[in-house]
């Protein structure tokens, strides 16, 4: 006999997290739990307003699955029950966790993978003034990979200030759709001057055709423009890399399939996250060995992670224990 439940959990952030769309001081997550006998599987998601999600809408979607999941629906069946998004992610990852615990195997074994190892994660700097971002970069300058949240106007100054404060770090910049077509030349020039390794989602999703009409001097990564395999082929001329987030793909099952299709089409892979706990990061660790860039720093931004959280040694993140997930 199975039971499916969902709960809201809130975690304070160590500092305000600011991007082009706004700021927050807490991370509100939804955790799906599937209990079968003595075994329990969990999955965490972060509802995201940019995609029309709220905590209530995600809880309602999970509730709509209760009869099917409690009557034995598996991960394959789940894919057609809900669209890609946070709710399906929580339930999909809970099913992975439950299966691993019932069979006494690790999730990577179930996925047909070799044993996964540690990965170097990016560390995110919130959007701010050039001076405040430089201060944050200086404090994190020993980290090998920094990710800058940008906001449109003034971004070249932010990029230059961070590079001056952290001369040895590899840099990713994330515009969160805040650039416009007439900004591209100036902003890309600032990226070239600062030796930026990757530009993430410079233009709004659906308004990114200009990327296909220009010679991109820095590799460009699709984030809001890609959720799952649907429409991925249409992005080949616009992007060089795709950001795979389980809250977008609707879980690890589709994320693995998206990675396969992305590689087939010639995209590089970036594994990303929302601001959540180690329970949300753990399934994404299965994708880390294939990714050129890993951004699983959510727990580093929290005032306190959940019990049995991932182990971070500086920017090195280690695979999850079975007590946490998988």
Across the range 281-293, mean pLDDT stands at 97
Q: Which pLDDT tens digit goes with each residue over 20-59?
A: 888 899 999 999 999 999 999 999 999 999 999 999 999 9
Q: What is residue 20's predicted lDDT score, i.e. its pLDDT?
A: 80
Residue 23: the pLDDT is 83
pLDDT of 155: 98
Domains and CATH numbers, the chain: 2-107 (3.30.390.10), 119-317 (3.20.20.120)
Q: How confident is the model at residue 21, as a pLDDT?
A: 82
**Percent of the chain topping pLDDT 70:** 100
When pLDDT is cut at 50, 70 and 90, the band that residue 62 belongs to is very high
* Beta carbons of 190 and 155 less than 8 angstroms apart: yes
Average pLDDT, integer, range 100-121? 95
Residue 90 banded pLDDT, cuts 50, 70, 90: very high
Q: Cβ(314)–Cβ(142) under 8 Å? A: yes
Q: What is the spatial order of strands in the sheet that 312-313 belongs to?
A: 119-120, 316-317, 312-313
- Per-residue pLDDT band for 115 (boundaries 50, 70, 90) equals confident
Is pLDDT above 90 for 248? yes
End-to-end Cα distance, the chain:
20
Is the pLDDT at 10 greater than 90, yes or no?
Answer: yes
Grade residue 197 by pLDDT with cuts at 50, 70 and 90.
very high
Query: Of the residues 24, 101, 147, 245, which is catalytic?
Result: 245
- Label residue 244 by pLDDT band (50, 70, 90): very high
- pLDDT score, position 111: 96
Mean pLDDT for the stretch of residues 90-116: 96
CA dihedral 271, 275, 280, 283 (to 10 degrees): 10
Segments in 104-165 forming alpha helices (H) = 107-110, 130-139, 155-165
Q: Supply the mean pLDDT for the chain.
A: 97
Phi-psi region of 152 (alpha: psi -120 to 50; beta: other; left: phi over 0): left
What is the pLDDT averaged over residues 244-270? 98
Q: Which one of the listed residues 24, 101, 147, 149 is annotated catalytic?
A: 149
Average pLDDT over residues 186-201: 98
Q: Which pLDDT tens digit goes with each residue over 163-173?
A: 999 999 999 99
The number of CA neighbours under 13 Å toward the Cβ of 169 is: 32
pLDDT recorded at residue 22: 84
Instruction: State the residue for tokens 């770090």.
Output: 169
**Residue 149 designated active-site:** yes
Tell me what pLDDT residue 9 has: 98
Query: What span, in angstroms and rounded, lies between the C-alpha atoms of 298 and 267?
Result: 24
CB 162 within 8 A of CB 146: yes
Contact criterion met (CB below 8 Å) for 326 and 283: yes
pTM for this entry: 0.96
Assess whether 248 carries a catalytic annotation. no
In this predicted structure, what is the pLDDT of residue 189? 98
For the packed helices 155-165 and 130-139, what is the interaxial angle rounded to 10 degrees?
Answer: 30
For residue 130, count other CB atoms closer than 10 A to its CB: 18
């Amino acid at each position: 006999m199975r039971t499916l439940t969902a709960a809201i959990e809130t975690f304070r952030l160590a500092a305000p997290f600011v991007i082009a769309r706004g700021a927050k001081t807490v991370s509100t997550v939804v955790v799906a739990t599937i209990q079968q006998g003595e075994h329990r599987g969990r999955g965490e998601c972060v509802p995201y307003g940019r995609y029309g999600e709220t905590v209530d809408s995600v809880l309602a979607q999970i509730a709509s699955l209760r009869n099917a999941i409690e009557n034995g629906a598996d991960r394959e069946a789940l894919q057609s029950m809900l669209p890609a998004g946070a709710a399906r992610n929580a339930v999909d990852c809970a099913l992975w966790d439950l299966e691993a615990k019932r069979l006494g195997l690790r999730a990577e074994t179930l996925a047909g993978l070799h044993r996964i190892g540690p990965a170097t994660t990016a560390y995110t700097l919130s959007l701010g003034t050039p001076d405040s971002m430089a201060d944050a970069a200086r404090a994190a300058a020993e980290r090998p990979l920094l990710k800058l949240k940008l906001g449109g106007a003034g971004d070249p100054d932010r990029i230059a200030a961070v590079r001056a404060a952290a001369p040895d770090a590899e840099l990713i910049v994330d515009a969160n759709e805040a650039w416009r077509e007439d900004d591209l030349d100036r902003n890309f020039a600032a990226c070239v001057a600062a030796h930026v390794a990757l530009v993430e989602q410079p233009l709004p999703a659906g308004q990114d055709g200009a990327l296909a009409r220009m010679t991109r001097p820095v590799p460009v990564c699709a984030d809001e423009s890609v959720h799952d395999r649907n429409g991925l082929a249409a992005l080949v001329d616009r992007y060089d890399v795709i950001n795979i987030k389980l809250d977008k793909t609707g879980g690890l099952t589709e994320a693995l399939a998206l990675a396969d299709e992305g590689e087939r089409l010639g995209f590089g892979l970036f594994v990303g996250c929302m601001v959540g706990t180690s329970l949300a990061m753990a399934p994404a660790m299965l994708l880390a060995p294939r990714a050129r860039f890993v951004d699983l720093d959510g727990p580093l931004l929290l005032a306190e992670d959940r019990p049995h959280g991932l182990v971070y040694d500086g920017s090195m993140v280690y695979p999850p224990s079975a007590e946490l997930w998988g």
